[in-house]
Amino acid sequence: MKKIRVRFAPSPTGFIHVGNARTALFNWLFSRKENGVFILRIEDTDVERSTVESEISLTQDLKWLGIDWDEGPDGGGTHGPYRQSERLEKYKYFADTLLDKGSAYYCFCAPQELEREREEALIEKRMPKYSGKCRELELSGSIERVRRGEKGALRLKVPAGEEIIFNDLVRGEIRFQTDFIEDFVLIRSNGLPSYNYACVIDDRLMEITHVIRGEDHIPNTPKQIMVYRALGWEIPLFAHLSMVMGKDNTRLSKRHGATSLDQFREQGYLPEALFNYLALLGWAPPEGREVLTKEEMVSMFQLEKVGKASAIFDYDKLNWMNRQYIRSVPSENLVRMAIPFLKRDGIIHGDITELHFLWLIKAINSIISNISILSEIPKELDIFFSFPISEMDKESKKILMDETSKRVILQFEEELLKYERINWEIFIEITESIKGKLGVKGKSLFHPLRVAITARSSGLELQKFVPIVEEGANLNFPRKIKSIRERISEILEFITN
């Protein structure tokens, strides 16, 4: 059997949208499952919109997501170059072949003229379609005009009255009437190839067996098939993936939330979680399991099982998936992953000591069940770093102003004097002593103490909070952590003023 070869062919005109990333991922899964070859091809013939920065960021983002390629612009492969801008001679070569065969012709119509025809058609409610005026020009004359420097575009002679039928691996049979397709441009008058033409030349020369791409390209497929036919080439198989939509059934866009890979990375989604989630957009693994390793996805993936219904991007589900992955990360790694986010929020700077690192393990472990994405970690750690007396809610203030509470807190302050440092055992000793002296217990004892040391009426269990905050207070964090003693004296000052 022929070796399976697939490609992902982004245009480097911006950050990579999750819909495109999902196309890359399905190509990748399919190639890995079939022991095939996965190619990255950069479609950069739109010189005005393509940038080198965007090519760099898109390759980095794909690698971040966990997608690698066997052949591509950064090395490897015998079918290069892998940037369309470096393949212009090849496009020229086959354009000449098409001219010689009489399948293509030069068009010298001015852009303004074409635009006018288009507008007229729209006004008359006809489908805009190039008139085919230059089809009649004699080839030798046209070649001479081009040789003398006149600008001409090369168009394909689209056969009239034919039906183009192809069997899409996802969507089944698709038919198009050629009468609705104009003689489209293969090479523009500036010498650069059109997408539909370059794509065919490259897919052929790169020996692509399966073209897997978004269904927005379905209308391009009959045009590409006509180019294959005109050149007498075998046509690859096509699989058009449904679009990725928001919950409101419109194309996923900024309005819905993050859409490009870099945004997901910045928010602290784990690449493995996003990879897993994207794989489920339109593909359901057998047995209904959802959290799968990459190896499992590869072994279970079947292109024929990809659905044609539009795929709904559900941020809640992605968050759920991300939580599953975050929980499975060993604590030390999680702290390493959290560090850029902690730096971004000014919780730490530069290198941190072993002690800070060990403290972060405990602190992050204590709040892990509250987070879905890494960027939420600094906010959750706020419970240790901030002591927001001035922003306390009504409930907390009410608890503090109660007479019994005041007595409890004052007594707590006095008991604290006996100890240099506090840990959980000492905290319990102190509360026992308060119980004995004031006869206060349970909620009336612990609630005021919680508010007094956290300035909040709910949150982490004190048993976890107390030792972490005390240890943290002894470490020199750029954002200082207040000790229990400091907190108690501040709160007393607040109550008594």
CA distance 113 to 122: 14
Work out how close the CB of 40 gets to ligand GLU at its nearest, in angstroms, rounded to a whole number: 11
Closest C-alpha among 252, 243, 124, 111 to residue 188: 111
Structure tokens at 336: 């390493």
17 or 450: whose CB is closer to ligand GLU?
17
For 327, what's the count of Cα atoms within 13 Å in the CB-facing half-sphere? 11
Q: Which of 9, 40, 226, 488 binds ligand GLU (CB under 6 A)?
A: 9
16 or 334: whose CB is closer to ligand GLU?
16
Structure tokens at 459: 């949150």
Work out how close the CB of 5 gets to ligand GLU at its nearest, in angstroms, rounded to a whole number: 14
Contacts of 420 by beta carbon, 8 Å cutoff, 6+ apart: none
Closest C-alpha among 35, 40, 37 to residue 23: 40
253 or 463: whose CB is closer to ligand GLU?
253
- DSSP code of 183? -
Which of the ranges 7-15, 158-166, 300-308, 485-493 carries the binding residues for ligand GLU, by CB under 6 A?
A: 7-15
Q: Which of 4, 5, 6, 10 binds ligand GLU (CB under 6 A)?
A: 10
CA distance 365 to 168: 49
Which of the ranges 4-12, 127-135, 275-283, 423-431 carries the binding residues for ligand GLU, by CB under 6 A?
A: 4-12
**Strand ranges (DSSP E) for 35-157?**
37-40, 104-107, 153-156
Structure tokens at 343: 């730096």
Which of the ranges 8-16, 73-81, 358-366, 427-435 carries the binding residues for ligand GLU, by CB under 6 A?
A: 8-16
Q: Which of 17, 83, 155, 213 binds ligand GLU (CB under 6 A)?
A: 213
Which of the ranges 6-14, 131-139, 315-323, 386-394 carries the binding residues for ligand GLU, by CB under 6 A?
A: 6-14
Active site residue 254: yes
Q: What is the crossing angle of helices 377-385 and 331-344, to 10°?
A: 80
Q: Provide the 10 A C-beta neighbour count for residue 101.
A: 12
Does the CA dihedral 70-290-20-127 come out positive or negative? Answer: positive
213 or 482: whose CB is closer to ligand GLU?
213
16 or 392: whose CB is closer to ligand GLU?
16
Contact letters for ligand GLU, residues 26-45 (x by CB under 6 A): -----------------x--
Size of the site for ligand GLU (CB under 6 A): 7
Work out how close the CB of 46 gets to ligand GLU at its nearest, in angstroms, rounded to a whole number: 9
SS3 210: strand
Selected catalytic residue, list 254, 317, 406, 464: 254
213 or 223: whose CB is closer to ligand GLU?
213
380 touching ligand GLU, by CB under 6 A = no
CA distance 284 to 302: 10
Structure tokens at 94: 């086959």
Q: Which of 92, 145, 157, 217 binds ligand GLU (CB under 6 A)?
A: 217
Rg of the chain taking only CA atoms, in angstroms: 33
Structure tokens at 79: 């079918």
Residue by residue, DSSP assigns 114-143 as: HHHHHHHHHHTTPPP----GGGGS-HHHHH
Instruction: Name which of residues 266 to 305 contact ligand GLU (CB under 6 A).
Output: none
11 touching ligand GLU, by CB under 6 A = yes
CA distance 460 to 464: 7
Instruction: Name which of residues 183 to 212 contact ligand GLU (CB under 6 A).
Output: 199
Work out how close the CB of 283 gets to ligand GLU at its nearest, in angstroms, rounded to a whole number: 18
Work out how close the CB of 194 gets to ligand GLU at its nearest, in angstroms, rounded to a whole number: 11
Work out how close the CB of 232 gets to ligand GLU at its nearest, in angstroms, rounded to a whole number: 21
25 or 199: whose CB is closer to ligand GLU?
199
List, by residue number, the catalytic residues.
Answer: 254
What residues make contact with ligand GLU under the rule CB under 6 A? 9-11, 43, 199, 213, 217
